[in-house]
Amino acid sequence: MQVYKDLNIGTAKISEEEKENIPHYLFDIKNVEEYYSVFDYQKDGRELLSSFEDSKTPIIVGGTGLYIKALLYDYTFSNDEVQYDFSHLTNREIYDEIKKHTDDIDIHINNRKRLERRLNMCMNKSDNNTLKGNNLLYDVIFIGLTTDRDKLYDIINSRVDKMISDGLIDEVKAIYDRGIRSKAITTGIGYKELYRYFDGELSLEEAIELIKKNSRHYAKRQYTWFNHQMNINWFDVNFEKFDKTEEEVISYIEKGYEFNS
C-alpha cells in the first residue's frame, strides 16, 4: 500500500525525518488510481536486489507475506489466466462460490464486477495457474518482532486512534471526492471502511471500530502466514528499552544465524 502516493496516514508511511538519511525504496511510485500487483512488486523488488553491491545488505520490511514470498522465492506467474463466464450466476451465487475458497470477502453483494473478478482469481489460483514455486532464491535471514497478543491489539487500537487524530478522515475524503474507487482504496484497511462511512453505510464510530477490527484480524493472518510459510526467528519486543531488542537481533545476526536456503 505504501507504493501509492497520497496514502500516507492510513498506511503509516515513514516520514523523511524517520528515514534518517537511509535510502528507502518503492515508496510513492504509483498514483492511487493505478493497479500495482504482486507481480509488479516482484519485478521491481528483484531489480533493486540485483542493483545492490555485495557490501550492501538490503532490509525488506513488511507487510504482506505473499508479496515478500513472491519476491524471495521462485514464484512464477502465469500469463494465460483463464477467464470464466459467470453470467449464469446471480450475485449471491457468486458470493457463495467465493466463500468456498476464502472467508476473507470485503466486497459488497451488489458489486457484480468485483465479485466476478474475485471468483475468477480464486478459481485460477485453485487451478495452480497463478503462483508456483517454493524455493528461496537468495540468502535470507527472516526476523519477526512480536509481543503478547493483548498488548499487540492495544497497540493496534491506539494506532488507529492516532491515525484519526493525525487526519486520516481528511486524507480519505480527499481521495473519495476525486471519485477514485481503485483496488488500493476498496481493499486497503482504513480506506475501505471510511469509504463506507462517506457512502452512508456506516456511522463514523462504526467505521473506526471496523478499522480496528480489520487491523487486528490482519495482524492475526500475518502471524499465521509467516509461521506457516517462512522460517521466522521471533523476538519479543522490549517497549521500555527497545535498544535491548536491537541488541538481541544484532547478536543473533552476527553470531547465531543460519541462512534460510
Q: What is the pLDDT of residues 95-142, one digit of tens each?
A: 888 888 887 788 888 898 889 888 888 876 654 444 556 789 998 899
Same domain as 41, residue 166:
yes
Whole-number pLDDT of residue 130: 47
Residue 157 CB: number of other CB atoms within 10 A?
Answer: 17
Q: Which cell numbers hold the place of 107?
A: 466486497
**Contact in structure between 71 and 42 (CB atoms under 8 Å):** yes
Whole-number pLDDT of residue 86: 72
State which amino acid sits at residue 173: K
Question: Is the pLDDT assigned to residue 153 strictly greater than 60?
Answer: yes
Q: Mean pLDDT, the chain, as a whole number? A: 88
In a domain, 1, yes or no: no
In a domain, 228, yes or no: yes
Expressed as residue numbers, the domain containing 87 is: 79-132
In CATH, what number is assigned to the domain containing residue 200? Answer: 3.40.50.300
Same domain as 108, residue 161:
no
Q: Give pLDDT tens digits for 46-93.
A: 999 999 877 788 999 987 888 898 899 988 766 555 566 676 678 888
Of 173, 216, 147, which Cα lies nearest the Cα of 9? 173
The C-alpha atoms of residue 260 and residue 77 are separated, in whole angstroms, by 23
Whole-number pLDDT of residue 52: 87
CA distances for 24 relative to 39, 52, 175, 250, angstroms:
20, 13, 25, 20
In a domain, 8, yes or no: no
The pTM score is 0.77
Which range, of 14-18, 23-27, 35-39, 154-158, averages the lowest pLDDT?
35-39
Q: Is the peptide bond preceding residue 63 cis, with omega within 30 degrees of 0?
A: yes
Question: Is the pLDDT assigned to residue 260 strictly greater than 70?
Answer: no
Helices (H), the chain: 16-19, 38-51, 65-72, 91-99, 112-126, 149-166, 168-176, 183-187, 192-198, 204-229, 242-251
Angle, alpha carbons 61-66-69 (nearest 5°): 70
Same domain as 183, residue 118:
no
Instruction: Calculate the dihedral angle through the C-alpha atoms of 36, 37, 40, 42, rounding to the nearest 10 degrees.
Output: 140
Same domain as 50, residue 115:
no
> What is the number of structural domains in the chain?
2
Query: Residue 261: pLDDT band by 50, 70, 90 thresholds?
Result: very low
Angle, alpha carbons 149-107-28 (nearest 5°): 70
